[in-house]
Structure 1
């Protein structure tokens, strides 16, 4: 059972990394540091959008963008971190 716990934690870590990468890329694209006309940048950007947009759209149904600021990535990060806390506090159930 401990291996299931570790796999779940690994998946949550990967999701955390994808959200952080998406946020940083969006900033770099908006400040024109990265250019979507570059093939590699565009491929990574579209992959991250395809992975995360379903999650963000569910969050945006409850919390729409406020004054042009999209809080969906922040809420998603908080949710992933909260899941990690819940799992860590209940690790005894995996033994």
Structure 2
């Protein structure tokens, strides 16, 4: 069971960083620090969107529409923290 908990912990850690990187990239794009005209930036954002959309979709269905403010990444990060502390902590530490 410890190995499964370690693998799940690693996967949650990777998802955590993917969400953080996506949030920072979206802020950089929103404030015109990074240009979406660049093929590299466009491909990175496309890949990040494809990785996180299946995770965000159920949350976006439940949460109310707040216009341009998307709180689903914050909800997912909070859920990752809860899973780590409540379910994985007894097996990893």
TM-score by shorter chain over 0.5: yes
Q: How far does residue 54 in structure 1 lie from its aligned partner after superposition?
A: 1.9
User: Partners of 2:89 and 2:43 in 1: how far apart?
Assistant: 38
Gap regions ≥5 residues in structure 2: none
Aligned to 2:26: 26
Q: How many residues align?
A: 92
State the Cα RMSD in Å. 1.6
Q: How far does residue 58 in structure 1 lie from its aligned partner after superposition?
A: 1.1
Runs of 4 or more off by more than 6 Å in structure 1?
none
Q: How far does residue 64 in structure 1 lie from its aligned partner after superposition?
A: 2.7
Higher RCO (Cα < 8 Å, 6 or more apart): 2
Aligned to 1:39: 39
Q: How far does residue 67 in structure 1 lie from its aligned partner after superposition?
A: 4.6
Asked if 2 retains the 8 angstrom alpha-carbon contact of 1:12 and 1:80, the reply is: yes
Q: How far does residue 87 in structure 1 lie from its aligned partner after superposition?
A: 2.4
User: Partners of 1:68 and 1:41 in 2: how far apart?
Assistant: 21
Provide the secondary structure at the position in 2 that maps to 1:34: coil
Gap regions ≥5 residues in structure 1: none
TM-score, length-scaled by structure 2: 0.88
User: Partners of 1:55 and 1:5 in 2: how far apart?
Assistant: 20
Aligned to 2:90: 90
